[in-house]
Amino acid sequence: MRGISGKRVLITGAASGIGRVTAQRFYDEGATLLLCDLKPLEQTDLAAAFPERLQYVAANVASAEGLAAIEAAIADGGIDVLINNAGITKDKSALKMTESDWDAVIAVNLTAVFRLSQLAARAMKQQGRGGVILSAASVVAHYGNFGQANYVATKAGVIGMTKTLARELGRAGIRVNAVAPGFIDTPMARAVPEANLANLCERTPLNRLGLPEEIAAAYAFLASDDAAFITATCLNVDGGLVM
């Protein structure tokens, strides 16, 4: 896509799932990758998959040390695109959810998204060439989901934060958008009983699970020059689940 080649792209949660597929998409488009995940590099396939144009930071995005390591990496080479992909779940019904369950999900899925966006925006503004900030929301932010009060709160928060950051950063040429996946065919989804998967597909007008590559394509489009006039948007990639 236009305007991705040569850009430096930070992707969190990049060692597996949607983050890993997104890293591959941007690498194939010619981007320079700054990837972050909890695992040490040698416990991933990233070095082999991306033999050049790769910098890796093993960090917990919810920790002060992790954020400091990412900030140092940004300062070392600059940043053009941030993709806040890292996220966790700790599902329980509201009456059974502990303070620890709540705090852990808020820390990774919301607070870290804000802190990383703040770091990236400061660097982008200093560089003076604009930039793009993209964050993972979820369709459950639009309708709620049983047992996910903490997760849904974070994803709804990401959508609201996206709109606010877009308003604040637009004059610096920084575009801010979110992507809200529906039910995506990942190992986590495949662990769900077959009958439940069939029900999820029935609820989706396109009658199937989405593919991680389809989420990566949405990120690539929103990061590209083809989306140069798109900001403050939450793009649902959900097969029509939310109308």
Tally of structural domains, the chain: 1
Residue 163: pLDDT band (50, 70, 90) is: very high
Cβ atoms 72, 92 nearer than 8 A: no
Residue 3 lies in a domain: no
pLDDT per residue as tens digits for the range 188-227: 777 778 888 888 899 999 999 999 999 999 999 999 999 9
Residue 109 lies in a domain: yes
pLDDT at res. 196: 84
Q: Does pLDDT of 44 surpass 90?
A: yes
Give the structural domain span for 72: 8-234
Q: How far is CA 209 from the centre of its chain?
A: 19
Q: What is the CATH number of the domain that holds 29?
A: 3.40.50.720
Cβ atoms 126, 226 nearer than 8 A: no
pLDDT at res. 129: 97
pTM beyond 0.85: the answer is: yes
Residue 94 lies in a domain: yes
Mean pLDDT of the chain: 96
Residue 243: pLDDT band (50, 70, 90) is: confident
Residue 239 lies in a domain: no
Residue 1 lies in a domain: no
Instruction: Classify 53 as helix, strand or coil.
Output: coil
Q: How far is CA 143 from the centre of its chain?
A: 20
Residue 240 lies in a domain: no
Residue 21 lies in a domain: yes
Going by C-beta distance under 8 Å and a sequence separation of 6 or more, which residues neighbour residue 92?
Answer: 98, 101, 147
- Summarize the confidence of residues 21-49 as an average pLDDT: 98
Residues with catalytic function: 151
Going by C-beta distance under 8 Å and a sequence separation of 6 or more, which residues neighbour residue 1?
Answer: 29, 220, 221, 223, 224, 225, 226
Task: Extract the runs of DSSP E, i.e. beta strands, from 16-173.
Answer: 32-37, 54-58, 81-84, 131-136
Residue 241 lies in a domain: no
